[in-house]
Structure 1
Amino acid sequence: MSSEQSVLFTNVRIFDSSGADPFEGEVLVTGNTIADVRPKSGDLPRDGVRVIDGQGKFLMSGLCDAHTHFSWVNSADLPGLGTMGVEEHTLLCARSAQTYIDYGYTMCVGAAAAKPRLDVVIRNAINDGQIPGPRYLANCQEIAVTGGALVDGITAFADGPEEMRKQVRRNVEMGADLVKLSMSGEEITGNQHAEDNYFSDEETLAATTEAHRRGLRVCSHARSGESVKMSLRNGVDIIYHASFIDDEGLDMLEAKKDEVFVAPGLNWLVATLNDAAAFGYPPEAAEAAGYKHELDCAIVGLKKMKERGIRVLPGGDYGFAWTPHGTYARDLQHFVELLGYTPKEALLAATALGGDIMRMPDQLGRVKAGYLADLILIDGDPLEDITILQDRARIVGIMKDGNFHKDPGDGTEARPSELKETHRGTPVPA
């Protein structure tokens, strides 16, 4: 479909991500923009417009994953992420990007790449129309201090403030949108624990100051309570995990709730406890390592964040063997079943808050006139059954930037040769 052709979705239930209940109506898309939204079918013009009768299906914004790793490739061989050839790795990243949009994810925030430029190359290829994928904020390798790498071969190292500044400058040079600090441990390593903290205040502040000076944001792998507080003291923008946040940290986070986002990556904890046995990590090993304790603590802390109005987004750490690509919407189920979100609240976290974290709150994450036409059409009601979004077959239409990735008329999906041409190197807003 040409982006110049107008498309009218009629006879649809519109979830506009304003907080209102869905309503029957129609949505007109002109070019890459939502031109009009009406609460009654039949009100908008049909002449010269492609009309899609939704037959009562559920129309909503595309989804956001706030903690994305294109370069995690469904493997249990974590060191293999470092030793894999860059050519093969690039192809697998392109497949990951396509899988995200195949499942209705039109916004993703990069949370580190296994090789320095993988994210940047894939983001640029998506923006150029060479490959299908979501709107993407690119990262480089996560930055750790000596002795703090979680996986060998995929980490950049920096010790002390000056080395932190240099690593941030490398991200700038490579064209990244973000910087990732690996501040705490991970129990599966066996010797680096989730309640550890490896950074100093001086190192963290040097990284955030340099990043912000150059227009990049900073995210942190911060499971421990102290790493969360250190992130907040020193200007980190996006906190990943926050499993062991304490009351002091909650107070600090609430004071910055209009500045900071949290993306807990909850499915990693759930799946490591329940789904890793086939890959040599049985539940008893996961529990002995501390994953059940961490999940229990994380649930308590995240419920308190919800009560305090802190912006918590779904998504995270998909692409390991027991958290494979394509299962992203499990996070929405966890928000409902474990954290006490209503299905509506979970969808708002995955749409409206997605526009916020992408720094495009007036363009992304809502079904509203003037917003970019990133839309998905669902056969079913995710407000009644949030797990519907895990079923690719139920996502019958996927539109990004006014173009169909999956056409609801015939179910076909766009291949790279069918994607629109765009100006080479057009950046995703940072």
Structure 2
Amino acid sequence: MAPARVVDEVPWTSPAFVPEKYEGPPRNLEYIDAISFDQSLQPKNYEILGTHPDSKILVLNVQILEANGKLPYRGDVLIEGQKFTSVGSVQNKDALISDPKVRVFHGKGRTLMPGLGDAHTHFSWNGGDLDRLGDLGVEEHVLLTARSAACYLDSGYTMCFGAAAAKKRLDIVIRDAINAGDLPGPRYLANGQEMARRDGDLVAGITAYADGPEEMREVIKHHIDLGVDQIKLSMSGEEITEIRSAQDCYFSDEETAACVEEAHKYGKRLCAHARARDSVKMCVRHGVDVIYHGSYIDEEGMDMLEEKKAKHVVAPGINWLIATLNDAAAFGYPKEKAEQVGYKKELEHAIRGLREMHRRGIVVLPGGDYGFAWTPHGTYARDLAHFQELLGFTAHEAIIAATYGVAKLFMRSHEMGQLKAGNFADCILVDGDPLSDIKVLQDHDKLNIIIINGRVHKAGRKEYIPPPIAGQDDNKHPIVPDMDFPEVKKDMQKNY
């Protein structure tokens, strides 16, 4: 095995980059466009069944945020079947409005934007004690995982890239049920259990173990036979374990190379829990496609990553570090303890490295590690605010990363992640301006309409009835009381 390495400081020869206030066009659009995974790694082009081809939805008078770098503009949008057919200007609009078969929504100037995406998703995390996930019965665990998938969609997320499942086939069966139209959820690429060495696991009950190149090849092949879309390597430690530091690297170069060769041979991409300096370098050196965290990257690793930035994306899961440091005390993990084991130090290193990645044009995508007690399901859009407040992204850049960027990770940016004719109709109508206040995306009550695959997942009662206008139709219009019925809200997860 590679010896565990703990270093007190990660050396940098350049000064820390401090982002200046920037208000120009989104800079990360060209970085995302440049991403070019090998075509042999193209995942299956799943579709979600159940949208009738004759279905028509007309959304009137909205601020259209296309996620292509263009500033929002006022217009209308037509959805036919699964896809957008007109964005901005709709021909025969009056005829469509009067057609009783067309569902008409009145935007009233609200923002219509693509559905969001998460690049590091754990459907099967329980919002509590991960150590107990291995003991949870499979029947209960399937239900929990399905609820998590629905919660992502309820939160405006229409694309999720699986980062590990607690049981071998949980991600796979939920993905297939979503695509069959049997369960609500986002478009999904499924993972299996994360793979770790026997001396490098993070949570024993949810880990697939392998030591050495040959056994790792066998475990990867087993994952592929199960039907995963990508495979997760657990290459470095995690401070909360108190026995495996985030600066420890447990994989060897030979093991990493064998994993990449085996997965790529079968057309599957790899992602890796890689907080440590050496684990990040191994990912770049051998071609691990998606790097999770990357907290302790040093300047040599940064140079390596910049040189191959068209072949990798980084999904830092920054909210885990922030929440563990600042929010975990309410759950029995005091801030003093988090600082003692190293989370304050890691957050400082991570912010510095991620700012530098953004400056150098390395693609950084939001999402990650939601489903723990202090990173609960339903709070996924916190990542976007962190990108703006800490990493030097503009609000527009953060939104592009979460929409077009995740579509690029899916290798389907030609048909997902932007509002344009021909794309799948995945979108959210937001009561507010996310470019002025990106935190509006954290407020579920402001996500007034959620559409996936041309089907309405969420729309309140008022969205279906046009407001009456004095004198309209000789005053024969229906009178709609301006009142809301009380809503019963439940905790997203139950602690089993």
Partner-residue secondary structure (3-state), 2:112: strand
Aligned to 1:161: 213
Given candidates 181, 187, 201, the residue that maps to 1:149 is 201
**TM-score under structure 2 normalisation?**
0.81
Q: Is the contact between residue 11 and residue 41 of structure 1 (CA under 8 Å) also seen in structure 2? A: no
| Corresponding letter in the other structure for 1:204 | T
Instruction: Give CA deviations for 1:399-420 in whole Å, capped at 9, x if unaligned.
Output: 11111111356569xxxxxxxx
Instruction: State the match for 1:62 in structure 2.
Output: 115
TM-score, length of structure 1 as denominator length: 0.93
Q: Which amino acid aligns with 2:108?
A: Q
SS in 1 for 2:161: strand
What SS does the aligned partner of 2:64 have? Answer: strand
Q: Take 1:266 and 1:94, find their aligned partners in 2: how far apart are those partners?
A: 25
Q: Distance in 2 between matches of 1:262 and 1:44?
A: 43
Q: What is the letter of the counterpart of residue 138 of structure 2?
A: V
2:359 corresponding residue in structure 1: 307
Q: Runs of 4 or more off by more than 4 Å in structure 1?
A: 40-45, 408-412
* Residue matched to 2:451: 399
CA distance in structure 2 between the aligned counterparts of 1:288 and 1:3, rounded to whole angstroms: 58
Amino acid at match of 1:28: L
RMSD, matched Cα: 1.4
Number of aligned residue pairs: give it: 410
| Other-structure match for 2:192 | 140
**Alignment partner of 1:219 is 2:271:** yes
Structure 1's unaligned 5+ residue stretches are 413-430
Q: Secondary structure at the match of 1:270?
A: helix
Q: Distance in 2 between matches of 1:15 and 1:245?
A: 34
Tell me the SS of whatever aligns to 1:18: coil
How far apart in 2 are the matches of 1:216 and 1:393?
38
Code of the aligned partner of 2:451 = M
Please tell me whether residue 16 in structure 1 is matched to residue 69 in structure 2. Answer: no
Deviations 1:130-165 (A, max 9, x none): 110000010000000111110121101111111111
Query: Which amino acid in structure 1 is aligned with residue 372 of structure 2?
Result: F
Q: Secondary structure at the match of 2:364?
A: coil
What's the offset of the Cα at 1:306?
0.4
Q: Does the CA-based 8 Å contact 2:106-2:463 persist in structure 1?
A: no
**1:300: Cα distance to partner?**
0.3
Q: Distance in 1 between matches of 2:65 and 2:165?
A: 33
Determine the C-alpha separation between the residues in 1 that align with 2:368 and 2:264. Answer: 24
| 8 A contact 1:3–1:403 mirrored in 2 | no
In the TM superposition, what is the alpha-carbon distance from 1:46 to its structure 2 partner? 3.6
1:257 aligns with 2:257: no
Q: How has the CA–CA distance of structure 1 residues 362 and 41 changed in structure 2, closer, same or farther, with 3 Å as cutoff?
A: closer
- Kindly provide the CA deviation profile for residues 315-343 of structure 1, in whole angstroms up to 9, marking residues without a partner as x: 10000000000000000010011112111
Does the 8 Å contact 1:204/1:230 carry over to 2? yes
* Structure number with bigger Rg: 2
Of 48-57 and 383-392, deviating more is 48-57
Tell me how far apart the structure 2 counterparts of residues 44 and 212 of structure 1 sit (CA, whole Å): 48
Partner in structure 2 of residue 389 of structure 1: 441
Alignment identity in percent?
Answer: 57
Mapped to 2, the partners of 1:147 and 1:13 lie a distance apart of 53
Corresponding position of 2:103: 50
Specify the alignment match of 1:33 in structure 2. Answer: 83
1:35-74 superposed Cα distances (whole Å, 9 cap, x missing partner): 1112x57874643333221000100000001000011111
